């Protein structure tokens, strides 16, 4: 990431919690807890982490999709819709938001069936979609736009005459992605778009996302727990743990020089070609987002835990340009580092 790029989406201390009322008591699930993100035009940004760390909720928050019990508790979410100024999109009306969706920012949901109407042929789904966003277009214009895009993305032309259930899971996912990219949105966000697909089909879906990004020079924000997918597609990666970004860097930095012990576990658990050693996954389980540990949320699982880790949330340190990590091993006073149980 050498050239200077324009910021296209930015968050400031974003907090999005699920607030549940249960039998007269309130349960607060801190799924997105103080997240500062800066996303640039023309990049693929990957968000990684185990299940239950808040990745999907962060995507919903970036899409400004706060449906109760999910609430925006505090913080800011800015889109740079015109190059002169940013807009705090949490202040927009539902109609203004509807216009932004799919044209400025689109969402590829987890599970393609939820995005496609099972009782409609795909061309009818395309027609509804185009009609609701582009207004009164003739049938011919709609189908010309749809066919052109289907062909550009290498999908079979007759696919529009089929129902969703007539497609394989991989093909359905590709149609969902095609639909999300139809209006050439500046940002596309995808929630685990390759989950439940076999490796070969997964490769096709990744290639399709890369092609869309290269053609449109837009931005893709992609959530997946699969570090192999991130290695293949992302320019930069944010590692999420317990509702927070704990490390961020270019893909080379994250894979070549991971600093956070959690990131190191995620990378070391990946199989390596020709290496027959047993790979170790992250010990223990992620904490409940409704009952977070004090201090560094990773401390109950961390082999390097120090006293300060149990008391204070670590601040970010910046080992290199574009690279930041929230861990006391890298930002604590020397005295605190000396007390660690290093292995
Ligand atoms: Fe481990 Fe402490 Fe770093 Fe947290 S802050 S990852 S507990 S060393």
Lowest mean pLDDT among 27-31, 64-68, 339-343: 339-343
Q: pLDDT tens for residues 305-326? A: 999 999 999 999 999 999 999 9
Q: Which atom of ligand 1 is nearest to the CA of 304?
A: 8
Cα gap 48→184, rounded to integer Å: 25
Q: Determine the distance separating the centroid of ligand 1 and the alpha carbon of 337, expressed in angstroms.
A: 10
Q: Give me the pLDDT at residue 100, please.
A: 87
Q: Determine the distance separating the centroid of ligand 1 and the alpha carbon of 35, expressed in angstroms.
A: 18
Q: What order of strands is seen across the sheet that includes strand 7-22?
A: 25-40, 7-22, 70-82, 85-88
Cα gap 89→111, rounded to integer Å: 26
- The model carries a pTM of 0.91
Cα gap 275→210, rounded to integer Å: 29
Cα gap 225→151, rounded to integer Å: 31
Per-residue confidence band for 342, with pLDDT thresholds at 50, 70 and 90: very low
Cα gap 84→113, rounded to integer Å: 39
Compute the average pLDDT of residues 104-130: 84
Q: Give me the pLDDT at residue 339, please.
A: 46
Q: Which atom of ligand 1 is nearest to the CA of 308?
A: 2
Domains along the chain with CATH numbers: 2-113+185-285 (3.40.50.300)
Of 88, 126, 129, 80, the C-alpha closest to 105 is 80
Q: pLDDT tens for residues 184-238? A: 899 999 999 888 778 888 888 899 999 999 999 999 999 999 999 999 999 999 9
HSE (CB half, 13 Å, CA atoms) of 54? 31
Strand-pair partners of 247? 239, 325
Of 15, 43, 42, the C-alpha closest to 31 is 15
Lowest mean pLDDT among 79-83, 117-121, 336-340: 336-340
Per-residue confidence band for 113, with pLDDT thresholds at 50, 70 and 90: low
Of 237, 191, 229, 238, the C-alpha closest to 210 is 229
Compute the average pLDDT of residues 50-67: 95
Pocket of ligand 1 (CB under 6 A): 260-261, 296, 298-299, 302, 304-306, 309, 314, 327-329
Q: What order of strands is seen across the sheet that includes strand 219-223?
A: 105-108, 187-191, 219-223, 44-48, 236-241, 244-250, 323-326, 316-320
**3-state secondary structure at position 321:** coil
Q: pLDDT tens for residues 235-265? A: 999 999 999 999 999 999 999 999 999 999 9
Q: pLDDT tens for residues 148-159? A: 888 888 888 889
**3-state secondary structure at position 292:** coil
Q: Which atom of ligand 1 is nearest to the CA of 305?
A: 7
Q: Give me the pLDDT at residue 241, please.
A: 98
Query: Torsions phi, psi of 231, nearest 5?
Result: -60, -35
Q: Give me the pLDDT at residue 22, please.
A: 81
Burial of 105: CB neighbours in 10 Å, binned 0-12, 13-18, 19+: buried
Q: Give me the pLDDT at residue 196, please.
A: 73
Which residue has a Cα nearest atom 7 of ligand 1? 299
Q: Give me the pLDDT at residue 183, please.
A: 86
> Over 60: is that where the pLDDT of 340 sits?
no
Q: Do you know the residue count of the chain? A: 343
Cα gap 308→340, rounded to integer Å: 9
Q: Which atom of ligand 1 is nearest to the CA of 328?
A: 5
Q: Determine the distance separating the centroid of ligand 1 and the alpha carbon of 307, expressed in angstroms.
A: 10
Q: pLDDT tens for residues 259-299? A: 999 999 999 887 766 666 767 778 889 999 999 999 999 99
Query: Torsions phi, psi of 318, nearest 5?
Result: -125, 85
**3-state secondary structure at position 23:** coil
Which residue has a Cα nearest atom 3 of ligand 1? 327
Kindly report the average pLDDT of the chain as a whole number: 88
> Over 80: is that where the pLDDT of 132 sits?
no
């Amino acid at each position: 990431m050498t050239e200077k790029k324009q910021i296209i989406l930015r968050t400031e201390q974003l907090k999005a919690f699920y607030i549940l009322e249960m039998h007269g008591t309130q349960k607060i699930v801190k799924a997105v807890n103080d997240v500062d993100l800066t996303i640039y035009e023309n990049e693929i940004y990957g968000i990684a982490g185990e299940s239950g760390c808040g990745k999907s909720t962060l995507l919903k928050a970036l899409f400004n999709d706060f449906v109760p019990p999910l609430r925006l508790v505090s913080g800011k979410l800015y889109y740079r819709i015109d190059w002169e100024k940013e807009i705090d999109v949490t202040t927009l009306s539902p109609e203004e938001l509807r216009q932004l969706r799919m044209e400025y920012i689109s969402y590829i949901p987890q599970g393609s069936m939820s995005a496609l109407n099972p009782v409609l042929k795909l061309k009818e789904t395309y027609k509804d979609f185009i009609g609701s966003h582009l207004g009164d277009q003739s049938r011919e214009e709609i189908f010309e736009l749809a066919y052109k895009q289907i062909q550009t993305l290498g999908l079979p032309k007759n696919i529009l005459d089929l129902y969703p259930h007539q497609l394989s899971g991989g093909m359905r996912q590709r149609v969902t992605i095609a639909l999300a990219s139809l209006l050439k949105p500046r940002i596309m966000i995808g929630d685990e778009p390759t989950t439940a697909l076999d490796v070969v089909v997964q490769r096709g879906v990744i290639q399709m996302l890369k092609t869309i990004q290269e053609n449109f020079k837009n931005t893709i924000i992609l959530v997946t727990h699969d570090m192999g997918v991130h290695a293949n597609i992302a320019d930069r990666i944010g590692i999420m743990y317990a509702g927070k970004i704990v490390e961020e860097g270019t893909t080379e930095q994250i894979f070549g020089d991971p600093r956070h012990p959690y990131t190191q576990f995620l990378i070391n658990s990946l199989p390596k070609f020709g290496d027959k050693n047993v790979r170790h996954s992250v010990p223990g389980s992620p904490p409940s987002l409704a009952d977070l540990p004090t201090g560094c949320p990773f401390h109950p699982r961390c082999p390097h835990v120090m006293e300060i880790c149990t008391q204070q949330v670590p601040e970010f340190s910046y080992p290199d340009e574009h690279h930041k990590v929230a861990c006391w091993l890298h930002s604590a006073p020397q005295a605190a580092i000396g007390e660690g149980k290093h292995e």
